Amino acid sequence: MKPVIDDYLPLAPAMLHILLSLAGEKMYGYAIMQEVARQSEGRYKLGPGTLYDNLQRLMKQGLVEEVASRSEENSSRRRYYRLSDLGRGVLSAEIARLEDVVRQARPHLKAPQPGRI
């Protein structure tokens, strides 16, 4: 049975940031943490415990998959992760949902007219 993308939405902030960081290329854990910090301009810092817990869940859900290590990498400890097709679809859907939320929110966030409650 084909999974429905809407079942995965909305994404938790940590999951969204991990998927976003993996949107470009495959990465290992430490690189994901740095990418998340870069994307959020240092305002959101993932700890390794949170990162690997979320990666574990994302892999179980099939949104992220592990890939073979780069041959040029020296360290055998590193595991690389990338977005699956399903993960990419979920990320796209989540971004569309957030865009919709932002579009809906903008008129309400305009400064109120003087004299109006």
Interacting residues with another protein (CB under 8 A): 28-30, 33, 47-50, 52-53, 55-56, 60, 75-79
CB of 66 to another protein, least distance (A): 9
CB of 30 to another protein, least distance (A): 5
Side-chain-side CA neighbours of residue 109 (13 Å): 6
What is the C-alpha separation between 75 and 77, in angstroms, rounded?
A: 5
What is the C-alpha separation between 74 and 28, in angstroms, rounded?
A: 13
Cα of first residue to Cα of last residue in the chain, in angstroms, is: 51
| Cβ closest to another protein, residue 34 vs residue 92 | 34
What is the C-alpha separation between 65 and 55, in angstroms, rounded?
A: 9
CB of 76 to another protein, least distance (A): 5
- Residue where the block lists tokens 């079942």: 7
| Cβ closest to another protein, residue 74 vs residue 104 | 74
| Cβ closest to another protein, residue 39 vs residue 56 | 56
| Cβ closest to another protein, residue 67 vs residue 102 | 67
